Structure 1
């Protein structure tokens, strides 16, 4: 048992700095995962303090792809303190086990693994946290195919502990970024690099770098670029090669700014390649950890022992790269020198004094043990009776902040659910479960329903599609209503899009109140201009200015309309037309020819003039001669005739 609450059962996994056990929270009766740190770190007060701060930070991460952190604590025993973390138990396996069975993942499956991984990292980066140890061992695959990232905050706490100095590289060498090796610095782009290396391994079945020692692998990250994965898996598209190379550039400035930027690039490429999400399979594996039970009839348990180098799996696995989180010495700069410290043997007097002190400590420990046992017997009797039960205090009607303070003061926690309410002001507790006065175990949670107040009309911009506006109102617990009689013409908002809502955005209304949606009917209809009798150029200019597209619809004869001038339009003048797009209007022009004045002209000259107008000359004369003069004509000058008509003249 850890702190008389968490029962420790079988070993799930061992790592370089901790052991993970399956366990049970006996207070809440739920299965949990217990990560117990190596005693080397548990004995370091600086680490314990930093670890507690980071555990609280990790517990604030609420994301479906993050393994939830429930609790942390220190189990203080005579043989040493045990720092532990209580986490969500994910039934399934690690991504490493998927790789060991699959070898190389198909591209759609690799993307389906990386997408939730980056989503979890994006939530951490938004909260100001850096994971620092992204690797397949820290990515869990549930039996339902879900993907979750574990160990948020833990590596950051370790890197900040007193056991880590400027001469120590902390992390998993196969996935270390160059800056982690050279300076120890880490930011969101450090996680981007490690995620890029994981993507490389998913697509090729191996990490990009391998070597005889951990440091040789680490320095390859500093001095060599990650190769394109298509060198091993040729069928990969170039866009995937480019994505991996961008994420793993040695210069952090060349990588995506954070996991959210990396995820956006992955989504864009997935859409371009038409990659659809696929389930991630969980390999069928045997139980790999022997479980020991002190009581044949009781649950299997295992003694928690300090982790030694012998208990840690081989750092180099079949994947070809170091997998365990390691603390490695960083070699000094070229000009830096090292000195050996000689061991000094204590004198006989010093040995006697040390033995005397050890005897005093043994006596003090025995006395303390007796007092502790007596106190535990009395305390246990009280605790097993009524001491562990607490009455739920009154929190209904209080603000959320006050209610949480009241529950914390009663050694209870709060689980918040929010809902709209027409009567209770926003931020006020509507109800609690269990109710006031109920007796529950100390440390349990009380479900609080907190009011969001009345719903507000959402901010629906002009031009929003009608379906989107209706859904936004339903999401706000309001009822959309379409009144076509209220629709209006608008020159800017397209037909069918939202023009406004009534009441306006931000208005508070009772739940399920009706909100009317006013929809645009597009630009208002306009009449076709009357351009009858106008010249072609004048008519075309007037129609274009009114929003129409004019075109020549043919020519006709009209004795009342001059040639090349408008007889009519199609649609007819003053017809009301809806300006949807740019409606076309046909223009019918006159082909009439105006007869010139031929009187007093020589017949030969008149003939040429009429021929230029498409008319013919017919001469009536008593004496035919070329230079005869015209005395009269029919039709008269100024008359309008059809093309090809004959003009008769009398000449002398």
Structure 2
């Protein structure tokens, strides 16, 4: 399926995992432009309408959970016969892979991981969600050491019906609780048993029960006691040994009754250790301990029942060699056990009758009321307010999850979960993503750049070259930018176009108009004048205003003057000097391509005009420069000019 695009949105790029019920792909969400993980139900299970309905319904329920240690579910949907769940993509490795590499995880690291798993379970259980398939394969560890419990695909709401004699048992044989293996009622304590096996495997490097076939493994969960982990790893503390054994009690009433109790004990243990950060590198787990669909295991007559059922465990070989729990049992004990079986059967009938009554009430057969099912309306592309009304009209709840940059109009719905047309219970929350518009940035200033330079700057800034208009100009040299739209410095969404106006040169062949460059920086002014076809003469003038450092004060000839092409324009550039007096002893240095002039102007009295006599000989570090001194004042004006030759310094 690599390359397939599901629902015109999720492009499958790489297979990253295979399980008993589904295949997981790394995919690209083409709407939100992000990586996601897409879990696709296997074809053989897609033909089972009941399983598909459960797959969608239960995954949708889990999507309401929000916790840092639980992988987020973004979407649930179908594309033809392909049923899928879209989840958060985790850049990390599975706990199973870590166990394979480490063999045994030391106590400090184990407690760090276990605390995060117990927090995830506590959150799920408080939201009435039972995972039912807790195992190291379904626990991810990110590069930053964050533990993420994933794969809630077979999770079940704890208030849903969980006791039927015909339901298949779904789970992984090595991590099944005894009640799961027998098809009995499951609750949060079922996850606690599986969590105990995960802890057991982390400290010993192996699972507590193993056998040649999944059926034999399930039998051991029901009948055989667990070898204490401390017998296999004497380095673990007694408190951790006791915690694991309490999780693995056969009778749910003897286990921890909720994940919060485990979390509290783990936190107490943590105080005895200095917990280091847990950081692992990326890897892909390819363990064969799949989640399986099976018939409930019967403690008596197990071998005969399962060998007759073609829908049992995936691997049913060797069942005839399974141990008979009554093989060596004394006869007087058998009588007692028969009584227990009869009593258990009576209880089972009562429970079954209760289930039938429950279904009858749910279906309204006995006057009870049932929850109505409605379809999620089409809201993608609608404004937020209109979408909210559409959802409320079918008695669903509306929740904005995030506002995301996109090419869709600001304020419109760009994604929703559950997907449009998905059938859900009344009161279900429809979670949506709202467009906040495209990403914006500052438009570059292109004035006086050559056409090729301007185009290059536009593309480098993430924009596109728009319309190009060409007009004559007496101020801007041919082939250079006269104007742009939008203007430089304004904000514009990435990917938008920028229009240009390019000069075709002067309409008059012999003259050009001097552009106004006052107030610009020296470099900008020089570029503008050169682009208009002028030579530039620069004079420096000291100022005590630091904000004007490098700014052009004036120009000669003045702006708007029509002069011959290739004329020289002199610009006065302010230079900051903290010790200079604002109106006296101003020093001006002039440097041109063809001439170089040192001018000293000033006078004993205040404000006055300035007169500059240009040098008569071209020089730059050459012999033959002149010095000009100009004195100015309010009451008198005089000048003294001395020309001479000498080495230029």
- TM normalised by structure 2 equals 0.48
Mark the structure with the bigger radius of gyration.
Answer: 1
- TM normalised by structure 1 equals 0.48
